[in-house]
C-alpha cells in the first residue's frame, strides 16, 4: 500500500429515527464528515426522519503510518430553511483502529452520541468506512455551499476537530527493529509520538541471584498442596537489571527494551556466496558447500551442484556460553560420493570479532581469500560477515543455532524446522445458512411425493435439515445451519436436496455450489435479503457442465457471514480473545502484555538417545490470534530459551497459555525425519486481570501433567511477565462491558451449537497452523486449546463439588456462628449481638451503610495481604493428588469407551455425556461464588479497587438518602416496564462476570 495514493473512503448510507427539529415533527438532515483536517458534506434530505443518502466521500491520508491514531467524526445536522443556522442531531466518532480494507468493510449502524451534557439526540447513522490505495479514485472536493429550495447558506466548519483519544500514548516496540532506525517522529493532529531506539551495552559480571522463594496459596486449607508443586518467586538478572519485588533495579548502563530475558551473546556467521572456485572434478566442475566450525559445533550449508560461483545467504548462530575454542573455521568443501574434498578455509580469532549493537545497521559482508591447510592463499574467495550479537539481532530468529542443532543432521535445512517462529491463526467466521424452501422439485419417481431434506457441506462439516413435515413438490423448512469458515475462503458451500426413498437410502434431486467468498457479510442481526438458487442436475459432476445444464427446480436461501460473533476456538474459561470477527467492531487496546520465556529446569527425559535419557524441547505461547514458538533446544533437560514476545491486550478478562513440548520430529539415525507426535510436558495459564500494572512477575511454574498413574511433575518453567496499561480509562470501561460481543446476547447460540462449532474451529485452526513452516502440529494446538475440557471426568466433578462447598463454607460458618449466638455459647458475644440488632431495628437506615462500609474496610484490610503472584495449577483443588486409579482410568478412556460390550458401551457413553453437562453446571455455579469472594480478595486488583470505591460511595449515598426513598426506587426499578429494559446485561452483571475464579487453578 503506497502512502501517496492511500485514501479513506466513507459511504454515508442512511439514518434512522432522528429527532424532529423543525417544529412539524420532522427534520431536514445532512451529515458533515471531518477527517485529517478535511471536511465533506452530504446533501440535505428534506423532512425525513429516516433519510437515505448512499453518498461516497474519499479523504486523503497525509501520513499512512499514523492512520490508526486519526479519528473520523460524522456530525448530523438539521438545516433550517430560512436562516443560516443548523441544529445538532447527533454525532459518531470512529477511531483509526476501526478502519479496514475495502474488501472487509460492511455497513454498520452506529448510535448517535451527544455533543455535550445537555444535548438531546436519538437515532442511528449507517456508515461504511474503509481505506483504499486505488490510484483511480480521486479525493472528494471540500465543502460546497448548501442549496435548498433556491436558498443558499454556509456554515463554518470547526477550525479544530476534537478527537476522542487525544492523549499521548506510551509506545511499545517489537524487538528486533528491522529498519534499524534510531528514532522516528510522527506528527498527527498536533501530537508528537516519538519512537526511541533500542540500546544495549555489555553487562558486568553479577553475583548469583538469591535462591527462589516458594510462594504458597493461602485461599484456605483445602487448596494447600505439596511444596514441590508450589510457585517459586525468583530475582533474576535480566536485560534491564535485577528483578526485586516485581520491579527492575536498573544497573548503571543503558536500558534495553528487551528487558524481560537474560542477555545472551551469540557468534553470528553469515555465509553469503563464493566466487572463482577452482575445478575439483574431472569434468572441470565443483559441487561446493560450507562448513562453519568452532570447537565441537559445526554447521553445514547445502551443496550447490556444478557451480563455481554459488550463493547461500545463510546465518549460523553459536551460543557464546557453549563455545570452548577461540578460533572460528569456515571451510569450503567439494561434495563427493565417497569423501568430500577440501577446497579452502577462512579462519577468525574470536577475540577480534566485532560486536554489533542494534539498532546499528547489519554488518556488511566482505570477500575473504581462501587458504589451504598450510595457511597459503589459494584460488577462490568467500563472502562472509562475522559478528557478536544478542537475541535482539534481526538475524536471530532465522539463523541456524548450535544449541538447536540435530546431532545427526547439522545442516541449515534441518535447523529450519527447529527455529523460533510467530504464527497468526486465521480469522474465523460463522456461516449462517437459512434454508427456507424449495420449489418445483423433480423426484426420480414421478408417481410419489418426495420425502426431502437438505444436506449442507463446507469442507468436512456436514449438517442436515429435518425432513419436511408435508410431502409436496414445494417443500418448506425455514431452518438455520451454522458452519465455521476461515480466511482466505478456499472451500465452497455445497447444498444438496435429497429424497428419502427407503430407510437408509437417499437419492439426490439437485444441488447448488456457492463460493463462500461471494456470501454477504454482516456485523449485526439486521435481516439479509433471501435469494433463489437454481438446483443443478445430480448427474452432472463437472462444475462447468453443472452451470450449463440447468433445470426448473430451485431453492430459496438466506446466506450471510456473521461477523458480529466471536468464534469460540477455545474454552470460555481460558479464552485469550473475546473480540468479534469483523475488525470494524474492534476497540482500542487497553494494554501491552510482555512475556519473557527464560528457561526450564529439571525436565523429565522424554526419549532415549545414545543410551541416555534426554529431551528436545520447545515452548509455545498463545494469546489472541498470535501464537509463538521458541527454538528447539536439543538434548538438554535444562534448556535456556531467553526469548521475549509482546501482545496487545484488548480485554483484561483473558488468559495467556504457555506450553512446553518435546519435539518428536527429529531424524533417526538414518537421517530421516520421524512422524511421531510432539509429547506434552506441561503448560501454564495466567489470567491478565490478576496482574498488577507495571509489575514484573518472575516465577518458576511447576509443569504438572495428569497421567493414568496419577499427577506427575515434569519440570519447572521460568517466566517473566509484565502487563503495561496504555489506557487506564478504557481498561476500567471494559469492566462494565459485556464479556462477549453484542450478537451473543441479541441472537444467542445454543450450548449444543457452541460445542459443535468450537470443535470445528479448533480443527480448522490446527489445520491452518499445521501448514506453516515449521508446523504447529495438531496435538499441540489441541492441548493448548483444551479441546477435551468438556468431556466427563469423575475427578473434575468431585473437584467442582468441593469448590462449591468451599464457596458456601462462609455461609455455613455464619449459620454456625448464629447458632452459637442463639445458644449463648459466648455470653459477651450474644449480648453485643443483641445490642447491635436493637440498634439496627431502631435505625434501619444504618443497615446498608454499615454493610457496605464493612465490606470496604475488609477490602482495605485485605489489600495488605493481597496476592502478589499469578495463580497456578493446584493439585488439591483439582483433586488430582488423591484420585482413585479407576477414576483416572475412566478419565483417560477413549470416547466412545472401549471397556465393555455394545450395551455397556452405549449406556456408559450416555452416562458420560450427561455427567459432563452436570459437571459444567456445577463448575459454573462454583465460579460464580468464587467471583463473589474475589470482590474483596485483591485477586484482580483493579476490580477490587473499583468495588471498594463503590462501597465507600454507596455508604455515603445511602447514609444521606432516606431508606424509604431508596426502597421505593428499587421496587420501581425492578418492576419497570419492558420498554425501559435493555437486552444486554447490566453493568453490575458485566462487572461480576469479569471477576477471576479458581478455574485458572484447575488442572
Among 150-164, 663-677, 730-744, which stretch is predicted with the lowest mean pLDDT?
150-164
Pairing outcome for strands 311-319 and 400-401: parallel
The C-alpha cell that represents 356 in the structure block: 554489533
Judged against a pLDDT cut of 70, whether residue 37 lies above it is answered with: yes
Measuring CA to CA, how many Å separate 544 from each of 118, 508, 518, 549?
63, 19, 18, 9
Work out the burial of residue 597: count CB atoms within 10 Å of its CB; fewer than 13 is exposed, 13-18 middle, 19 or more buried. buried
**Contact assessment for residue 248 and residue 241, using Cβ atoms and an 8 Å cutoff:** yes
Contacts of 12 (CB under 8 A, 6+ apart): 31, 33, 42, 53, 54, 55, 56, 57, 74, 125, 126, 127
SS3 859: helix
Q: Report the alpha-carbon distance of residue 22 to residue 80 in Å, rounded.
A: 8
What DSSP designation does 983 have?
A: S
Task: Give the HSE-up count for residue 734: Cα atoms under 13 Å, Cβ half-sphere.
Answer: 27
Q: Where are the beta strands (DSSP E) in 264-394?
A: 265-275, 288-294, 297-300, 311-319, 327-334, 341-349, 366-371, 377-390
Judged against a pLDDT cut of 60, whether residue 169 lies above it is answered with: no
Query: Tell me: the pLDDT tens digits for 778-835?
Result: 999 999 998 888 777 888 888 888 888 888 898 899 888 888 887 788 888 888 888 8
**Contact assessment for residue 662 and residue 615, using Cβ atoms and an 8 Å cutoff:** yes
Q: Which residues pair with 421 in a beta bridge?
A: 629
Q: Which residues pair with 452 in a beta bridge?
A: 499
Q: Report the alpha-carbon distance of residue 657 to residue 682 in Å, rounded.
A: 11
Order of strands, sheet of 71-79, starting from the edge strand that comes earlier in the sequence: 38-41, 29-35, 71-79, 86-95
Query: Tell me: the pLDDT tens digits for 806-820?
Result: 888 988 998 888 888
Contacts of 771 (CB under 8 A, 6+ apart): none
- The pLDDT of residue 749 is 92
The C-alpha cell that represents 875 in the structure block: 493439585
Residue in 177, 100, 200 with CA at minimum distance from that of residue 584: 100
| Band (620; pLDDT cuts 50, 70, 90) | very high
Q: Report the alpha-carbon distance of residue 730 to residue 588 in Å, rounded.
A: 8
What DSSP designation does 517 have?
A: G
Judged against a pLDDT cut of 90, whether residue 621 lies above it is answered with: yes
Q: Report the alpha-carbon distance of residue 330 to residue 320 in Å, rounded.
A: 17
Among 335-349, 357-371, 631-645, which stretch is predicted with the lowest mean pLDDT?
357-371
Q: Report the alpha-carbon distance of residue 603 to residue 605 in Å, rounded.
A: 6
Cis peptide preceding 474, ω within 30 of 0: no
CA–CA–CA angle 218, 224, 226 (5° rounding) = 130
Q: Report the alpha-carbon distance of residue 31 to residue 88 in Å, rounded.
A: 10
**Helix, strand, coil distribution of the chain in percent, nearest 5:** 25, 35, 45
- The pLDDT of residue 174 is 39
**pTM of the predicted structure, to 2 decimals:** 0.75
Query: Tell me: the pLDDT tens digits for 906-940?
Result: 767 767 777 888 888 888 888 888 999 899 999 89
Amino acid at each position: 500500500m503506497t502512502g501517496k495514493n492511500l485514501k479513506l473512503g466513507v459511504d454515508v448510507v442512511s439514518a434512522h429515527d432522528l429527532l424532529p427539529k423543525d417544529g412539524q415533527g420532522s427534520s431536514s438532515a445532512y451529515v458533515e464528515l471531518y477527517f485529517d483536517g478535511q471536511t465533506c458534506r452530504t446533501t440535505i434530505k428534506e423532512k425525513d426522519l429516516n433519510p437515505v443518502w448512499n453518498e461516497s466521500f474519499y479523504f486523503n491520508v497525509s501520513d499512512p503510518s499514523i492512520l490508526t491514531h486519526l479519528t473520523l467524526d460524522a456530525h448530523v445536522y438539521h438545516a433550517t430553511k430560512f436562516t443560516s443556522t443548523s441544529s445538532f442531531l447527533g454525532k459518531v466518532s470512529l477511531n483509526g483502529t476501526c478502519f479496514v480494507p475495502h474488501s472487509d468493510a460492511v455497513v454498520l449502524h452506529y448510535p448517535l452520541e451527544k455533543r455535550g451534557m445537555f444535548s438531546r439526540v436519538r437515532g442511528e447513522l449507517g456508515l461504511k468506512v474503509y481505506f483504499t490505495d486505488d490510484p483511480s479514485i480521486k479525493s472528494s472536493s471540500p465543502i460546497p455551499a448548501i442549496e435548498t429550495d433556491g436558498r443558499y447558506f454556509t456554515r463554518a466548519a470547526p477550525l479544530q476537530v476534537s478527537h476522542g483519544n487525544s492523549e499521548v500514548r506510551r509506545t511499545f516496540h517489537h524487538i528486533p527493529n528491522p529498519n534499524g532506525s534510531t528514532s522516528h517522529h510522527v506528527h498527527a493532529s498536533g501530537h508528537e509520538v516519538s519512537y526511541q531506539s533500542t540500546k544495549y551495552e555489555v553487562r558486568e559480571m553479577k553475583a548469583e541471584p538469591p535462591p527462589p522463594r516458594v510462594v504458597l496459596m493461602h485461599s484456605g486449607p483445602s487448596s494447600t498442596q505439596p511444596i514441590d508443586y508450589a510457585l517459586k518467586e525468583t530475582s533474576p538478572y535480566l536485560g534491564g537489571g535485577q528483578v526485586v519485588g516485581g520491579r527492575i533495579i536498573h544497573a548503571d548502563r543503558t536500558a534495553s527494551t528487551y528487558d524481560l530475558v537474560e542477555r545472551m551473546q551469540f557468534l553470528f556467521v553469515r555465509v553469503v556466496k563464493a566466487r572463482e572456485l577452482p575445478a575439483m572434478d574431472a569434468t572441470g566442475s565443483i559441487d561446493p558447500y560450507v562448513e562453519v566450525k568452532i570447537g565441537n559445533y559445526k554447521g553445514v550449508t547445502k551443496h550447490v551442484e556444478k557451480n563455481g560461483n554459488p550463493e547461500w545467504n545463510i546465518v549460523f548462530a553459536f551460543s557464546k556460553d557453549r563455545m570452548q575454542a577461540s578460533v572460528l573455521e569456515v571451510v569450503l568443501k567439494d561434495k563427493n560420493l565417497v569423501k568430500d574434498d577440501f577446497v579452502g578455509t577462512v579462519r577468525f580469532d574470536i577475540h577480534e570479532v566485532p560486536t554489533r549493537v542494534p539498532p546499528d545497521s547489519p554488518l556488511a559482508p566482505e570477500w575473504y581469500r581462501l587458504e589451504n591447510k598450510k595457511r597459503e592463499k589459494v584460488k577462490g574467495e568467500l563472502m562472509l560477515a562475522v559478528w557478536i550479537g544478542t537475541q535482539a539481532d534481526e538475524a536471530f530468529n532465522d539463523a541456524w543455532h548450535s544449541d538447536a542443532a540435530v546431532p545427526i543432521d547439522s545442516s541449515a535445512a534441518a535447523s529450519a524446522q527447529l527455529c523460533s517462529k510467530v504464527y497468526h491463526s486465521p480469522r474465523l467466521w460463522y456461516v449462517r445458512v437459512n434454508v427456507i424452501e424449495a420449489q418445483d422439485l423433480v423426484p426420480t419417481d414421478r408417481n410419489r411425493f418426495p420425502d426431502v431434506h437438505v444436506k449442507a457441506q463446507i469442507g468436512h462439516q456436514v449438517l442436515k435439515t429435518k425432513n419436511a413435515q408435508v410431502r409436496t413438490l414445494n417443500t418448506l423448512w425455514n431452518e438455520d445451519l451454522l458452519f465455521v469458515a476461515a480466511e482466505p475462503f478456499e472451500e465452497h458451500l455445497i447444498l444438496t436436496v435429497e429424497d428419502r426413498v427407503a430407510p437408509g437410502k437417499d437419492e439426490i434431486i439437485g444441488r447448488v455450489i456457492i463460493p463462500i467468498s461471494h456470501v454477504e457479510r454482516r456485523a449485526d442481526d439486521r435481516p439479509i435479503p433471501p435469494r433463489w438458487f437454481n438446483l443443478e442436475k445430480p448427474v452432472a459432476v463437472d462444475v462447468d457442465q453443472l452451470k450449463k445444464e440447468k433445470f426448473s427446480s430451485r431453492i430459496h436461501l438466506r446466506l450471510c457471514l456473521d461477523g458480529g460473533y466471536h468464534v469460540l476456538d477455545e474454552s470460555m474459561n481460558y479464552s485469550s480473545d473475546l473480540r468479534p470477527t469483523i475488525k470494524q467492531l474492534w476497540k482500542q487496546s487497553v494494554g501491552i502484555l510482555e512475556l519473557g520465556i527464560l528457561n526450564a529446569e529439571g525436565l523429565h527425559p522424554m526419549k532415549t538417545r545414545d543410551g541416555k535419557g534426554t529431551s528436545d524441547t520447545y515452548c509455545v505461547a498463545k494469546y489472541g490470534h498470535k501464537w509463538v514458538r521458541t527454538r528447539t533446544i536439543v538434548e538438554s533437560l535444562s534448556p535456556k530459551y531467553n526469548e521475549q514476545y509482546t501482545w496487545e491486550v484488548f480485554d483484561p478478562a483473558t488468559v495467556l497459555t504457555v506450553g512446553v513440548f518435546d519435539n518428536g520430529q527429529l531424524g533417526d539415525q538414518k537421517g530421516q525425519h520421524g512422524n511421531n507426535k510432539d509429547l506434552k510436558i506441561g503448560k501454564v495459564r495466567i489470567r491478565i486481570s490478576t496482574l498488577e500494572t507495571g509489575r514484573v512477575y518472575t516465577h518458576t511454574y511447576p509443569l504438572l501433567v495428569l497421567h493414568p498413574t496419577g499427577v506427575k511433575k515434569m519440570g519447572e518453567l521460568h517466566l517473566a511477565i509484565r502487563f503495561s496499561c496504555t489506557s487506564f480509562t478504557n481498561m476500567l470501561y471494559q469492566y462494565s462491558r459485556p464479556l462477549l460481543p453484542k450478537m451473543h446476547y441479541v441472537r444467542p447460540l445454543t450450548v449444543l451449537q457452541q460445542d459443535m462449532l468450537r470443535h470445528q474451529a479448533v480443527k480448522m485452526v490446527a489445520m491452518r497452523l499445521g501448514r506453516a513452516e515449521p508446523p504447529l502440529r495438531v496435538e499441540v494446538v489441541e492441548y493448548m486449546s483444551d479441546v477435551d475440557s468438556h468431556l466427563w471426568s469423575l475427578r473434575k466433578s468431585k473437584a467442582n463439588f468441593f469448590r462449591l462447598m468451599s464457596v458456601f463454607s462462609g455461609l455455613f460458618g455464619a449459620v454456625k456462628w448464629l447458632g452459637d449466638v442463639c445458644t449463648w455459647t459466648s455470653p459477651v458475644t450474644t449480648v453485643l449481638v443483641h445490642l447491635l440488632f436493637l440498634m439496627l431495628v431502631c435505625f434501619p437506615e444504618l443497615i446498608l451503610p454499615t454493610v457496605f462500609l464493612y465490606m470496604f474496610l475488609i477490602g482495605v484490610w485485605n489489600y495488605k495481604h493481597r496476592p502478589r503472584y499469578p495463580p497456578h495449577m493446584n493439585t488439591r483443588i483439582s483433586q488430582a493428588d488423591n484420585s482413585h486409579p479407576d477414576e483416572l482410568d475412566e478419565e483417560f478412556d477413549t470416547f466412545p469407551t472401549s471397556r465393555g460390550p455394545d450395551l455397556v458401551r452405549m449406556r456408559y457413553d450416555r452416562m458420560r455425556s450427561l455427567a459432563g453437562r452436570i459437571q459444567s453446571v456445577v463448575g459454573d455455579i462454583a465460579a460464580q461464588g468464587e467471583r463473589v469472594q474475589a470482590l474483596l480478595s485483591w485477586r484482580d486488583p483493579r476490580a477490587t479497587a473499583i468495588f471498594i470505591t463503590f462501597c465507600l460511595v454507596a455508604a455515603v449515598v445511602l447514609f444521606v438518602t432516606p431508606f424509604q426513598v431508596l426502597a421505593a426506587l428499587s421496587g420501581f426499578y425492578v418492576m419497570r416496564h419492558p420498554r425501559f429494559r435493555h437486552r444486554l446485561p447490566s453493568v453490575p452483571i458485566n462487572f461480576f462476570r469479569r471477576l477471576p475464579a479458581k478455574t485458572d487453578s484447575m488442572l
